[in-house]
Amino acid sequence: MDNCIFCRIASGEAQARILFADDEVVAFHDLHPQAPVHVLIVPRRHVASLAHATPDDAPLLGRLCLAAAEAARRTGIAESGFRVVVNSGAGAGQSVFHVHLHVLGGRPVGWPPG
């Protein structure tokens, strides 16, 4: 996807503060953090949203969740607690249409969200 900023970050064409990356996922700090720690986890392969995922994407979606836990460990919020958010569709607040997880922490987070 030429115009997808997350595809461009994942391929190295666009800059980001990368926390870690492997063959399947890239974790980077959000440009507009909503918490003291706000990391985005994106797959290198473009999937528009969680609603567009198929059963074949199950291993990738699991990898994203494991990467979220790793991001929490690397940023020091794993023990104190963190929230993982996936917005799917414009009505839910998704603004970049490339599936991604938000890892938020570093402060208490309220419930209910939204």
Give the pLDDT confidence score for residue 113 in this predicted structure: 77
Give the pLDDT confidence score for residue 114 in this predicted structure: 64
DSSP 24-88: SEEEEE-SS-SSSEEEEEEESS----GGG--GGGHHHHHHHHHHHHHHHHHTT-TTT-EEEE---
Give the pLDDT confidence score for residue 77 in this predicted structure: 98
Angle, vertex CA 85, rays to CA 112 and CA 93, nearest 5: 85
Q: Reply yes or no on whether the pLDDT at 1 is more than 70.
A: no
Give the pLDDT confidence score for residue 48 in this predicted structure: 97
Task: Report all structural domains of the chain as residue ranges with CATH numbers, in order of start.
Answer: 5-105 (3.30.428.10)
Q: Coil, helix or strand for 105?
A: strand
More confident residue, 37 or 111: 37
**Residue for token pair 């959000």:** 30
CA–CA distance, 25 with 7 (Å, rounded to integer): 11
pLDDT single digits (tens) 30-89: 999 999 999 999 999 999 999 999 999 999 999 999 999 999 999 999 999 999 999 999
- 8-state DSSP, 99: -
Q: Are 39 and 75 in contact (CB under 8 A)?
A: yes
Per-residue confidence band for 112, with pLDDT thresholds at 50, 70 and 90: confident
Which amino acid is present at 69? Answer: A
What residues are labeled active site?
100
